[in-house]
Amino acid sequence: MSLVELCTVLDWAADEGWNPGLDDAEAFRAADPDGFVIALDGETPAAAISVVNHSPGFAFLGLYLCKPEYRGRGIGLGVWRTAIARAGGRTIGLDGVPDQQENYARSGFTHAGATVRYSGRVSGRVDPAVRRAEGADIETLVVLEAAASGWAKETYMSTWFSPTDTRITYVLEAGSRIAGCVTVRRCRSGVKIGPLVSESAGVAERLIAHAAAVFDTDIMIDVPSTSASLDALCRRFGLTPCFRTARMYRGDTSRPASFLYAVATLELG
Alpha-helical runs (H) found in the chain:
3-15, 24-31, 75-86, 101-106, 138-149, 154-160, 201-215, 228-236
Mean pLDDT of 26-45: 96
Residue 83 reports pLDDT greater than 80: yes
Mean pLDDT of 11-15: 96
Q: Rounded to the nearest 5°, which phi and psi values hold at 236?
A: -65, -30
Residue 257 reports pLDDT greater than 70: no
Mean pLDDT of 134-160: 96
Per-residue pLDDT at 258: 67
Residue 100 reports pLDDT greater than 90: no
Q: What is the pLDDT of residues 197-250, one digit of tens each?
A: 999 999 999 999 999 999 999 999 999 998 999 999 999 999 999 999 999 999
Q: How confident is the model at residue 81 (pLDDT cuts 50, 70, 90)?
A: very high
3-state class (DSSP) for residue 41: strand
3-state class (DSSP) for residue 26: helix
Per-residue pLDDT at 128: 95
Q: pLDDT over 70 for what percent of the chain?
A: 99
Tell me the one-letter amino acid at 122: V
